[in-house]
Amino acid sequence: MAFKGKPPGTGSGDMSRTTQALRPSIALTEQEARKARTLRRQGEAPAAIAAKLGLALDEVEKALVQMRNPRPETTRGTLNVTLAAHRFVLGERLGEEPLWQTMDRLLDELIRRRADTARRAAGRRGGTAGDDWLPGLDTGGPERPG
């Protein structure tokens, strides 16, 4: 009866292989690039980072260009919804519950409430509740795997 979604795949947050292939090669080890990015996040200038680590400035800059930086004024949240809706969903989280589980729980509640409303309305009309407008709701039979 519950709405069941699938959790994100194992590589869901990873960079696309196409994107990686299109990026220029960097003559730094992964550890050196990580250290340069850490120093940049601490406010160091690229020239100061290159001098501190004893690396070529152009290689340090290539490593820094590929950093992911938060956008200070986003109009959308992680869920690709308005910030108000994002705040609502975050407020509904149970502890450190992943967002996809929170969304599944909220959708399950919505579907159950719609089903209850449809059953009450059908009871007043003397008919049966229509399932065609309740997508994702398993209204009968054994629990579906998923």
pLDDT digits (tens, 9 = 90+) for 34-77: 999 999 999 999 999 999 999 999 999 988 987 776 766 655 55
In a domain, 94, yes or no: no
Q: Is residue 23 part of a domain?
A: yes
Q: Residue 142: its pLDDT value, please?
A: 46
Task: Give the amino acid at 123.
Answer: G
- CATH number of the domain where residue 52 is located: 1.10.10
- Shortest CA distance to 34 belongs to which of 63, 77, 10? 63
- What was the pLDDT predicted at 78? 63
Burial (0-12, 13-18, 19+ Cβ within 10 Å), 99: middle
Is residue 102 assigned to a domain?
A: no
Structure confidence by residue, pLDDT tens digits, 95-137:
988 888 898 999 999 999 999 999 898 887 765 555 555 555 5
Query: Which domain range does residue 49 map to?
Result: 19-65
pLDDT score of 20: 80
Q: Say how many domains are in the chain.
A: 1
pLDDT above 80 for 139: no
In a domain, 35, yes or no: yes
* Residue 25 belongs to some domain of the structure: yes
88 located within any domain: no
Tokens of 63: 């490593």
Q: What is the pLDDT of residue 146?
A: 44
Residues 6+ apart with CB under 8 A from 59: 26, 27, 28, 50
Confirm if 1 and 137 have CB atoms less than 8 A apart.
yes
Residue 106: alpha-carbon gap to chain centroid: 16
Indicate whether 78 belongs to any domain. Answer: no
Q: From CA 140, how far away is CA 101, in angstroms rounded?
A: 23
